Amino acid sequence: MKSYVYLMIGALMISQISNAEQAIFAGGCFWCMEPPFEKLTGIQEVIAGYTRGTGSNPTYKDYAQKGHIEAVQVTFDPQKISYPELLDIFWRQINPTDAGGQFGDRGPQYRSAIFYHTPEQKKLAEQSKEQLAQSGRFDKPIVTEIVPAQPFYKAEEYHQNYAKNHPWRYKWFRSGSGRDAYLRKIWSPQNKPKIAKNSKKTAKNTFKKPSDEQLRTILTSLQYKVTQQNGTEPPFKNMYWNNTEPGIYVDIVSGEPLFSSSDQFISKSGWPSFTKPLEPSNIIEKRGWFSTEVRSKQADSHLGDVFKDGPPPTGLRYCMNSAALRFIPVKDLEKKGYGKYLKLFK
């Protein structure tokens, strides 16, 4: 029996590893780059280390001399968190206009960079960088490099999880470097992106749907079938049909808010069901002969259908596909940019 249990555990671990992907980011001192990613759902491991240099087996004493940069290697589950989401977190940790280092850490070994593993990661990184440059948030050019991934060398053990192992030293260092003060200023609600006077674009419609090729890479085969080909996932065998954790549901492609757990109920259908949308303006309903299809407005994802057999107070049942949704638990709302919905759960 024990042998069987060990075999099953081993198989599960192999399955998890095979589904994982990696991303490498450099943003100055790697002590400060670990915590933001470690907090996210879907992150399996974050390692501090060195990369980009010419010399092998670098150490903290010689990595700069060998041309390496301090960086973090992030192993993540793409079914739970996407690469574009990681890019968004990355930009919010650095000064992308500084070519001479990051905050109190100066020199080429502290410059910012994104290291891509695949052509798709490269394309998404370049798009993300371009969007940031056009946002008007910065008054200087974005100089963060986007370069191919090279061998990554794990740093010494005392550098790993530094924020957890030395919390007071970490807080003192991070605050003293000027990083926190800069990021608070740049990303504060008061620092609204500047929009060109002659531009008719507004900040509301900044989402640009990825190409079909990109979607096939970003989404799982089931997510693609449901959202792009109007498919339906199996009942009772999907992620959220019986979810009772508080939080909100967003579109798997665009991240636009769609439904709240406050309006969710466990139906006999086997799919996540809601009495009403969280943001009606993000929902499009298309009446058909036998049902009314529900799609997201920005991403135009097929979400499911709405029926008139729901409970009070609306009498409606928005029957959705889990594969079309991403769940954001209450504890993650603020850090993932959905802080305004916290009031729903107080």
Q: What is the pLDDT of residues 213-239, one digit of tens each?
A: 888 878 889 999 999 999 999 999 999
Average predicted confidence (pLDDT) for the chain: 87
User: Per-residue pLDDT for 12 more than 90?
Assistant: no
How many domains is the chain built from?
2
pLDDT digits (tens, 9 = 90+) for 261-297: 999 999 989 999 999 999 999 999 988 766 789 999 9
- 27 and 163 together in one domain: yes
User: Which stretches does DSSP call E strand in the chain?
Assistant: 21-27, 43-51, 69-76, 101-102, 105-106, 112-116, 145-148, 153-154, 247-251, 257-260, 264-265, 273-274, 283-287, 292-296, 302-307, 317-320, 325-329
Please tell me which residue in 46, 114, 303, 319 is annotated as part of the active site: 319
Pull the structure tokens for residue 2: 């024990």
Q: Which residues are within 8 A (CB) of 266 and not within 5 positions of it... i.e. 6 or more apart?
A: 241, 242, 244, 273
Residue 198 falls within a domain, yes or no? no
Does residue 86 contact residue 23 with C-beta atoms inside 8 Å? yes
Tell me the β-bridge partners of 148: 116
Q: What is the pLDDT of residue 153?
A: 97
Q: What is the pLDDT of residue 152?
A: 97
With bands split at pLDDT 50, 70 and 90, how would you rate the model's confidence at 131?
confident
pLDDT of residue 136: 81
Q: Looking at the structure, do residues 153 and 229 belong to the same domain, yes or no?
A: no
Active-site annotation holder among 24, 26, 29, 69: 29
The boundaries of the domain holding residue 231 are 212-345
Q: Are residues 251 and 167 in the same domain?
A: no
Check if 32 is active-site: no
**Mind listing the pLDDT tens digit for each residue in 77-114?**
998 899 999 999 999 999 999 989 999 899 999 999 99
Residue 269 lies in a domain: yes
> Is residue 201 in a domain?
no
User: Nearest-5° angle of CA 37, CA 15, CA 2?
Assistant: 115
With bands split at pLDDT 50, 70 and 90, how would you rate the model's confidence at 242? very high
